[in-house]
Amino acid sequence: MKFKMTTEEKNWVLYDVGNSAFVLLVSTIIPIYFNYLAEKAGLSSVDYLAFWGYTASLVTIIVAFLGPVLGTLADTKDYKKPLFTMMLLIGCIGCFLLGFINYWFVFLIVFLIAKIGFSGSLIFYDSMLIDVTTPKRVDHVSSQGYAWGYIGSCVPFVICLGLVLGASKIGLSMEMSMIISFAIIALWWFCLTLPLLKTYKQKHYVERQPKAISNSFKRLGTTLKNIRKEKKIFLFLLAFFFYIDGVYTIIDMATAYGTALGFESTSLLLALLLTQVVAFPFAILFGRLATKYNTSKLIVICILAYLG
């Protein structure tokens, strides 16, 4: 069956291409650069890894508390797009500023803010999917986002990788190559979001009320009360919480842990780049399989393959 995406669906996919560049940066170059800054300040590899892990965990905790509130607030008419834009700007500006910071502790704080902006934007981005496509096309469009996000993020990453690894050969210092790299990723992320901002319209919402913030807490409370009656939804949310926390822990810690163990930075970066390329066709494949077979069974197969 041929699948042709609409303009709104393509623009939604483009945001994944944009923000995935930041994800790839977080899992590769940023930990290595933080290690560089930490070593310059006299931190041991043990302390460096611990501080990086604390920061990654703190992001998860903050987003876990903010997520439900922001999600319910975004249900209000015409709130989703402005809130999404706010989080986008926090993430992009934070990413851009990282290149100008030379002290490890300040670097961690700005990274924390940028990562919260990134994670916050995904809350609204994921919920936008029901506005840009139909229920029957959700699986396919979602898989297209993942697939093109994987492969598209490689474009700016390869440029940044060349700058970082070949800095001395082209007459750049490590600091200058990082400034340029962070600027490239921030601009890539922001520019690929513009089409979505231009065409997106919120179709599913609750009408505005005088006390939008307090009402969002009330709706959240009602949802939490009702969710106990919906066993499948409750189990899904519980499973997803632990699953996605594990996924992001691996993404945030893989390169940092490998660097601390003494693996060569170049080998780690190339291995993660290869992972992105391989993931592209399989994301599309599983999206198509989801339209034909039971999704829960496919998830179990993926988890078993992952554990293997």
pLDDT at residue 284, as a whole number: 73
Q: Which sign, positive or negative, has the C-alpha torsion 65, 69, 72, 75? A: negative
d(CA 29, CA 266): 10
Query: Could you tell me if residue 288 is inside a domain?
Result: no
Q: Work out how many domains the chain is built from and give that number.
A: 1
Query: Could you tell me if residue 67 is inside a domain?
Result: yes
Q: How many CB atoms lie within 10 A of CB 21?
A: 25
Query: Could you tell me if residue 306 is inside a domain?
Result: no
d(CA 82, CA 45): 41
Residue 22 belongs to domain spanning:
7-281
Please, are residues 45 and 260 in contact by the beta-carbon 8 Å criterion? Answer: yes
Query: Could you tell me if residue 302 is inside a domain?
Result: no
Name the stretches of the chain with pLDDT < 50: 1
Residue 298 structure tokens: 């496919």
pTM of the model: 0.81
Closest to 10 measured CA to CA, from 148, 126, 122: 148
CATH classification of the domain holding 160 = 1.20.1250.20
Residue 14 structure tokens: 């483009």
d(CA 28, CA 266): 10
pLDDT at residue 104, as a whole number: 94
Query: Could you tell me if residue 294 is inside a domain?
Result: no
Query: Could you tell me if residue 149 is inside a domain?
Result: yes
Q: Which sign, positive or negative, has the C-alpha torsion 28, 32, 33, 34? A: positive
pLDDT at residue 201, as a whole number: 94
Query: Could you tell me if residue 304 is inside a domain?
Result: no
- The CA dihedral of 296, 301, 307, 308, to the nearest 10 degrees, is 170
Query: Could you tell me if residue 305 is inside a domain?
Result: no
pLDDT at residue 255, as a whole number: 67
